[in-house]
Structure 1
Amino acid sequence: MKFYAAQIQAIAEALQNIFREGAYADKEIARVLKADKRRGSQDRAFIAEHTYGIVRYYRLYTHLAGGEPQSKSDWWRLIGIHLLASGYTLPEWREFAGLDAETLGAQLAEAREQRVLRESIPDWMDAVGTEQLGEAWPATIAALNDQAPVVLRVNRLQADPDRVTRELAKDGIKVKPLAEDALIVTERKNLFRTHAFRNGLFEVQDYSSQQAAPALQVEPGQLVIDACAGAGGKSLHLAALMENKGRLLSMDIHGWKLDELKRRARRNGVTNLETRPITTTKIIKRLTGKADRVLLDVPCTGLGVLRRNPDAKWKLSPETIDRVVAEQDGILSSYSRMVRPEGKLVYATCSILPRENSERVDHFLNSEEGKDWVLEESKSFLPQRDGYDGFFVSRLLRTR
């Protein structure tokens, strides 16, 4: 397994921007990969894989290195530690001097006795996870360090699972049925360059996330609101479930995300979707009592998707949770007013914390705003148990 200095330099550059400048890992890796058009697919894969690997285990590696990197040589040494721990043989470069597999193996074994080092998480996160999930926490955080599977959602407006399977096979991509409209990718390649993707036959969407739209129990012809739509993965799913019939209103406080949704909707063949930025509270008030269904995929800590966004471990704080919980309560209290009597609402998050999930639903139901609501269904998804992202979905019925 050979690698080259240019690859290591690219990883070091990405890591410095992630940890020193606060860049998001996915965007920074994409930037670095685009910076040199000469890089082939193997170079790109190596850089992305090992940048993510070091971000995921940053605390463990900095512990083994004796502290956080300060200089270029420090970053290269950190990368060397990761590569050695990953089974690579290091070349005799100056930056890797003093690193050997036997010594590192002993240091790793000792460090991994401590969960915060083994799973590479902040002390406060370990305390919160223990308090919130109890005995389930060790297995949960371990699973959140595994590589996430790639799951596709077939777009029923354009295709069925058999057609998507055949079309992807033409591009050398293998998938197998998971459930209903979900396919799991068994051989990874660039999905976004395929004809199937460009023609809107599928979207990349984790299986847990795919549970939110069906939970809303939409029907063709209804007025359905996705009130925290973002870039709209769940809006697109709702449109397919509505068979492009009725009115689907996708809303968000970030207009640029809705612009991306409109592009995705065109590719998916969605015709019943309208986007509306939430610029003032009047936008919500005008829709009071109008919607048959409302989806609230609310802002959260994202602790259920750490496998995909490992840098979140270093960007979150206890104060983040406090702020997010207050925002969740505000959204539930305000946006629920858009649902008509006998209408339904789904509250969903990509968090694993009961404090963001079931406790928020209970708080709402026990409030003045929730007095006319009842809980119909609630389910938490945990990666070690269900195999996919941590997620929470609950459905509430407005009785009057």
Structure 2
Amino acid sequence: MKILHRNLIQGLEKALKESFFEPNKYADKVLERTLKHNKKWGSKDRSFISESFYDIIRWKRKLEFYANKKMAPDNINSIIATYLLLKKIELPLFPEFEKIYKKKIKDRFKLAFPSKAIEYSIPDWMQTLMKEELGENWYKEMKALNIPASTILRANTLKTTAEDLKNILSEEQISVDFIKGYKDALILEYKENVFKTQAFKDGLFEIQDASSQLVGQFLNPKPGMRVIDSCAGAGGKTLQLAALMQNKGHIIALDIHEWKLQTLKQRARRNGAHNIQTKVIEDSKTLKRLENTADRVLIDAPCSGIGVLRRNPDAKWKLTPEFMERIYKEQREILQNNSKLVKNGGIMVYATCSIMPSENTKQVLNFLENNKNFKLEEEVSILPSKSNFDGFYMAKLVRIS
């Protein structure tokens, strides 16, 4: 049985407090800092912190119900205690747990949940939205989204293949396996810090979910083409496009944040991707100068991220109905503005990491209603309950005049 030291509970409490109650703090970065600042923790300690931190975030509402207390700065240790008891870990005699009534909590484990929102640990408004948009079986998707995400690698085919990468990682004591139907993807068999491997330092792979890898293939860029990645961010999909194009042709990576594009430049150097040009969107003139120039345009649109809650569970507590309204408007504008970049006969792919039709099919239908010079060639919805990976949506739109 895991022996808990008090500094682990204190570290967990501090990380949860920061993630839930400090503005603009994202779980992955909070955990990264927590582990970095506690160098004396061993591998088992670090695993306990990582797993507990994400589990408590993921199951916040269920734990609140069992604890009979809301997540609040003064109640965090009650929530941690409830989580430990649920995991059948005996509470140590720490001051943090002095006022915990174990029997009361354990008795509540036997109660039925008042709602599916509590059972699946999401806000009430999100349950309403998912039921409206996905129908009576919405909870199947939420069940899948509550399963922690696997770590998926994308072999950088500018330097290696999935087969060769598997062998190289095996020499570094990293076990991976192939994923049927995903030609460049490998799944990590055990949780490992792959960023420390020589293979990563040599640019042989990137971390990229299997569903996300389908987006670049769906765009189907060819060597020599002119491609615009209009919401490039730190460039996960941009780097894949460079590999698919065999470093031939020209990719313009656009974003409104210069710091993200700086990260992309660093990643491109490590990947050996030489056909990428980054460009900050400073105003409408940036897009104006690129009109009618692209064979392919990828719009990896800002979205709710509901399709990737398995890897970003804190997002469900940060999302609001007001945010959803703002994102619908932003998606419409981005789709409209970036459609002008496509050459006649060219292809635009609109993609989101959401499973909500309001962000996906409805946006595309609205666009087509107002842009008769485009036609929908194909659309794909990837549901977590069926793929066991992230939820994604992709629509291929062809400019016909």
Shared fold (TM-score, shorter chain, > 0.5)? yes
Select 1:265's aligned residue among 264, 268, 274: 268
Distance 2:68 2:113 in 1: 15
How far has the Cα of 1:67 moved from its partner? Answer: 2.3
Query: 2:60 maps to what in 1?
Result: 58
Q: Give a deviation string over 1:196-227, Cα, whole Å, max 9, x none.
A: 11111111110110111111111100100000
Q: Do the aligned partners of 1:111 and 1:117 also contact (CA within 8 Å) in 2?
A: no
Q: Which deviates more, 178-187 or 59-68?
A: 59-68
Q: Do the aligned partners of 2:185 and 2:210 also contact (CA within 8 Å) in 1?
A: yes
Amino acid at match of 2:157: R
Q: Do the aligned partners of 1:80 and 1:96 also contact (CA within 8 Å) in 2?
A: yes
How far has the Cα of 1:364 moved from its partner? Answer: 0.2
SS of residue paired to 2:210: coil
Alignment of 1:214-293 (within 5 A): 214-293=217-296
Runs of 4+ residues over 4 Å off in structure 1: 69-72, 97-103
Q: Which deviates more, 169-178 or 260-269?
A: 169-178
Query: For the structure 1 residues 172 and 112, does the alpha-carbon distance in structure 2 shift closer, same or farther, using more than 3 Å as the test?
Result: farther
Q: TM-score, normalised by structure 2?
A: 0.96
Query: For the structure 1 residues 146 and 321, does the alpha-carbon distance in structure 2 shift closer, same or farther, using more than 3 Å as the test?
Result: same
Q: Which deviates more, 52-61 or 109-118?
A: 109-118
SS of residue paired to 1:89: coil
SS of residue paired to 1:181: strand
Alignment of 1:109-258 (within 5 A): 109-112=110-113, 114-178=115-179, 179-258=182-261
Q: Do the aligned partners of 1:175 and 1:183 also contact (CA within 8 Å) in 2?
A: yes
Q: Do the aligned partners of 1:60 and 1:111 also contact (CA within 8 Å) in 2?
A: no
Q: Do the aligned partners of 1:290 and 1:339 also contact (CA within 8 Å) in 2?
A: yes
Distance 1:129 1:197 in 2: 38
Q: Do the aligned partners of 1:85 and 1:101 also contact (CA within 8 Å) in 2?
A: no
Select 1:40's aligned residue among 39, 42, 64: 42
Distance 2:269 2:260 in 1: 15
Identity of aligned residues (%): 44
Amino acid at match of 2:28: D
Q: Do the aligned partners of 1:373 and 1:397 also contact (CA within 8 Å) in 2?
A: yes
Q: Which deviates more, 272-281 or 34-43?
A: 34-43
Q: Does 1:309 align with 2:312?
A: yes
Distance 2:204 2:383 in 1: 28
Alignment of 1:332-347 (within 5 A): 332-347=335-350
Query: 2:325 maps to what in 1?
Result: 322
Distance 2:123 2:18 in 1: 20
Q: Give a deviation string over 1:333-389, Cα, whole Å, max 9, x none.
A: 01110000000000000001000001100000001xx21001111011111111100
How far has the Cα of 1:70 moved from its partner? Answer: 4.7
Query: 2:88 maps to what in 1?
Result: 87
Amino acid at match of 2:248: K
Q: Do the aligned partners of 2:155 and 2:184 also contact (CA within 8 Å) in 1?
A: yes
Q: TM-score, normalised by structure 1?
A: 0.96
Q: Give a deviation string over 1:160-201, Cα, whole Å, max 9, x none.
A: 111110111122111111121111111221110011111111
Distance 1:228 1:109 in 2: 47
How far has the Cα of 1:64 moved from its partner? Answer: 2.4
Distance 2:189 2:264 in 1: 28
Select 1:358's aligned residue among 354, 357, 361: 361
Q: Do the aligned partners of 2:299 and 2:350 also contact (CA within 8 Å) in 1?
A: yes
Q: Do the aligned partners of 2:67 and 2:105 also contact (CA within 8 Å) in 1?
A: no
Q: Do the aligned partners of 1:250 and 1:273 also contact (CA within 8 Å) in 2?
A: yes
Distance 1:287 1:59 in 2: 47
Query: For the structure 1 residues 142 and 386, does the alpha-carbon distance in structure 2 shift closer, same or farther, using more than 3 Å as the test?
Result: same
Distance 2:304 2:112 in 1: 27
Distance 2:337 2:114 in 1: 47
Distance 1:101 1:397 in 2: 61
Q: Do the aligned partners of 1:289 and 1:339 also contact (CA within 8 Å) in 2?
A: yes
Q: Do the aligned partners of 2:60 and 2:71 also contact (CA within 8 Å) in 1?
A: no
SS of residue paired to 1:176: strand
Instruction: Tell me how large the CA RMSD over aligned residues is.
Output: 1.5
Q: Do the aligned partners of 2:17 and 2:73 also contact (CA within 8 Å) in 1?
A: no
| Structure 1 gaps, min length 5 | none
How far has the Cα of 1:101 moved from its partner? Answer: 6.7
